[in-house]
Amino acid sequence: MAFRHGGIVDAMKSARLLAIFTSFLKLGFTAFGGPVAHLGYFHEEFVRRLRWLDEREYADLVALCQFLPGPASTQVAFAIGLKMGGKPGAFAAWLGFTLPSAVLMIGFALGLAKLGDLRASGWLAGLKLAAVAVVADAIWTMSAKLCPDRERVMIALTSAAVLLVMPDTVWQVLCLLFGGMVGWMLFRTRITRKESAGASGNSPHAGWPYLVVFAVLLAGLPVLKWCSPAGWLGLADGFYRSGSLVFGGGHVLLPLLEKVTVAPGWIDQETFLAGYGAAQALPGPLFTFAGFLGAKMNYGPGGLAGGILGIVAISLPSWLLILGAIPYWNRLRHLDAAQAALMGTNAAVVGLLLAAFYSPIWTTAITGPAHLAFALAGIGLLRFARIPTWLLVLLSAGAGAMLFS
């Protein structure tokens, strides 16, 4: 009986991991539009459709990943997988979400440049407009749940106004801190005790080894590169440092990667920009641009091995930081004072998404009345006709190819 019970448990775990992987793989193929759009797709899939998280849990994860360095949307994917399936679930989520664009970017480096400039394609314009609809729907739903009173509406609108004028990452962090401070002052008397819905079973100190490894690699890889002529160490150091020091979305990564790849002559400027342009046209995380660079550079292993090394090295800091921070976050967020602060922080997250919805999503997708009409139709289909997101993406790509080519 014990053996049979163990087999059932193992089968359930395998089924859960497969569900995590396939859910994120679908998003890896369909989530166009950059980091903020990805958060909209995640909200639709995991909060509204699958109900793996509630609105507050999701906003809490978004807030945490905005505070940590690294690609915010990929970190949210990793954290959702960690919540649903432990460490195997976290890597299943990361692999599913990253795999499609990673394969395409490495393939592009190895010889798919004949496709030309994908950014001018009509189908891509349609996909950008689908992202407008998805993010607008996510903001609509999240604001109803996370900004139910005047105080939190004002926090969201103030944060959005500040970030529209000063969109730098440091101001994103300051707006989240502002929301938390105001929330703590206004809402700490409103907290009602209830059983923690998302507390982790890890020990209180489960996260510190990952944070130690993160710091050791950040300090140690440059020393190893200096001591050894091995090209793969230099590549790993450059990408690991870039993944460790970037805050916000993948676009912030561009100057960092340019400094560690173009400046030393590992790749020329024209090839660098061609790869970055291709990355803009693909679904999934922009960080897979590292796969293109690793495969194309004249330094390190190059080819497929260099591409895989580039993606793993740039992703490793995010894995370590999430695994290190989540155990403490899961305890902190259930304290009364922290819950009050998070009520304000989550309202600021809505403001952050609202500002990012305007720029870059709206400003790059809506360039005329036809585009606006297209986006409004998408919002109507998603919000009121309740068609699934994947169908909206397919319809938008097809309609875009016919209308905007």
Q: What is the 3-state secondary structure (H, E, C) of the chain?
A: CHHHHHHHHHHHHHHHHHHHHHHHHHHHHHCCCCHHHHHHHHHHHHHHHCCCCCHHHHHHHHHHHHHCCCCHHHHHHHHHHHHHHHHHHHHHHHHHHHHHHHHHHHHHHHCHHHHCCHHHCHHHHHHHHHHHHHHHHHHHHHHHHHCCCHHHHHHHHHHHHHHHHCCCHHHHHHHHHHHHHHHHHHHCCCCCCCCCCCCCCCCCCCCHHHHHHHHHHHHHHHHHHHHCCCHHHHHHHHHHHHHHHCCCCHHHHHHHHHHHHCCCCCCCHHHHHHHHHHHHCCCCCHHHHHHHHHHHCCCCCCHHHHHHHHHHHHHHHHHHHHHHHHHHHHHHCCCHHHHHHHHHHHHHHHHHHHHHHHHHHHHHHCCCHHHHHHHHHHHHHHHCCCCCHHHHHHHHHHHHHHHCC
pLDDT of residue 332: 82
Taking residues 193-215, what's their average pLDDT?
A: 66
What's the whole-number mean pLDDT along residues 177-198?
Answer: 75
Can you give the pLDDT at residue 331? 81
Mean pLDDT of 16-23: 96
For residue 203, is pLDDT > 70?
no
Q: Is the pLDDT of residue 202 over 80?
A: no
Q: Does residue 383 register a pLDDT over 60?
A: yes
Of 70-74, 187-191, 301-305, 349-353, the least confident: 187-191
**3-state secondary structure (DSSP) of residue 50:** coil
Residue 200 vs residue 252, higher pLDDT:
252
Residue 319, pLDDT score: 95
Confidence of residue 272 (pLDDT cuts 50, 70, 90): confident
More confident call, 69 vs 200:
69
Enter the pTM of the model.
0.80
pLDDT reported for residue 339:
84
Q: What is d(CA 70, CA 246) in angstroms, rounded to the nearest whole number?
A: 5
Mean pLDDT of 353-363: 85
Is the pLDDT at 87 greater than 90? The verdict is yes
Confidence tier at 201 by pLDDT (50, 70, 90): very low
Task: Please state, rounded to an integer, the average pLDDT across all residues of the chain.
Answer: 85
Q: Report the 10 Å Cβ neighbour count for 203.
A: 8
What six digits make up the tokens of 69?
């360095």
- Percentage of the chain lying above the pLDDT 70 cut: 89
Q: What is the mean pLDDT of residues 301-321?
A: 94
DSSP conformation class of 51: -
Confidence of residue 200 (pLDDT cuts 50, 70, 90): very low
Q: Please report which confidence band the pLDDT of residue 198 belongs to, taking 50, 70 and 90 as the band edges.
A: very low
**Between residues 190 and 250, the one the model is more confident about:** 190
Per-residue model confidence (pLDDT) at position 157: 96
Confidence of residue 161 (pLDDT cuts 50, 70, 90): very high
Q: Rounded to 5 degrees, what are φ and ψ at 75?
A: -65, -40
Bond prior to 360 in cis (omega within 30° of 0):
yes
Q: Is the pLDDT of residue 392 over 60?
A: yes
218 versus 119: the higher-pLDDT residue is: 218
Mean of pLDDT values over 335-353 = 87
- For residues 296-317, give the mean pLDDT: 92
Q: Give DSSP secondary structure letters for 145-196.
A: HH--SHHHHHHHHHHHHHHHH--SHHHHHHHHHHHHHHHHHHHTTT------
Confidence of residue 259 (pLDDT cuts 50, 70, 90): confident
Q: How far apart are CA 98 and CA 29, in angstroms?
A: 9
Percent of the chain's residues with pLDDT above 90: 41
Q: Which residue, 208, 289, 221, 217, is CA-closest to 250?
A: 289
* pLDDT confidence of residue 197: 41
The yes-or-no verdict on residue 250 having pLDDT over 60 is no
Specify whether the CB–CB gap between 305 and 110 falls below 8 A. no
Q: Most confidently modeled of 6-15, 120-129, 227-236, 293-302?
A: 293-302
Two tokens, residue 104: 């395409």
The confidence score (pLDDT) of residue 6 equals 59
- Tell me what the mean pLDDT of segment 105-117 comes to: 72
The C-alpha atoms of residue 65 and residue 100 are separated, in whole angstroms, by 23
Q: 111 vs 30, 117, 336, 396, CA distance in Å?
A: 23, 14, 56, 28
Q: Cα dist. 190→127, 147, 187 in Å?
A: 42, 15, 5
Cα 181 from Cα 175, distance rounded (Å): 10
- Cα 271 to Cα 156: distance, rounded to the nearest angstrom: 41
Per-residue model confidence (pLDDT) at position 280: 73
